Structure 1
């Protein structure tokens, strides 16, 4: 079960992109105010990260779910 969004620290979009980059995600393209990242190895997941100053906790949980990583794994990367 996912933790409550209120239990998660807020991060800046560039911190999220940098952390996902450490996992092998690369910026594929940008569409409007969103970055589309693509995993460089199989299963080639795609993750959408909004280019907003602060990523809201619920949005971060959704990004982590798309990336297939846990909150703990993410926090080790930041």
Structure 2
């Protein structure tokens, strides 16, 4: 999955950027108290997308 598509999905589900790390961007949802790291690669594997969505408590795209 393209990173821009994943970030669009995260925003649509109510998540927001917490901070930029060294090699990852940290996204979270303050209402649910969840957060997850999103790597800065153009392509993100489907397995990792599934893990990020599960960590944030949102549906998969």
TM-score range, shorter chain: 0.7 to 0.9
Cα-to-partner distance string for 1:12-70 (whole Å, 9 max, x where unaligned): 11211111111111111111121101214x22211211110100121111111112133
Partner Cα distance (1:61, 1:68) in 2 = 10
Normalised TM-score (structure 2): 0.83
The runs of 4+ residues in structure 1 deviating greater than 3 Å are none
**Structure with greater Cα Rg:** 1
Root-mean-square deviation (Å): 1.4
Partner Cα distance (1:33, 1:14) in 2 = 16
Query: 2:36 matched to 1:36?
Result: no
More helix by share: 1
Normalised TM-score (structure 1): 0.68
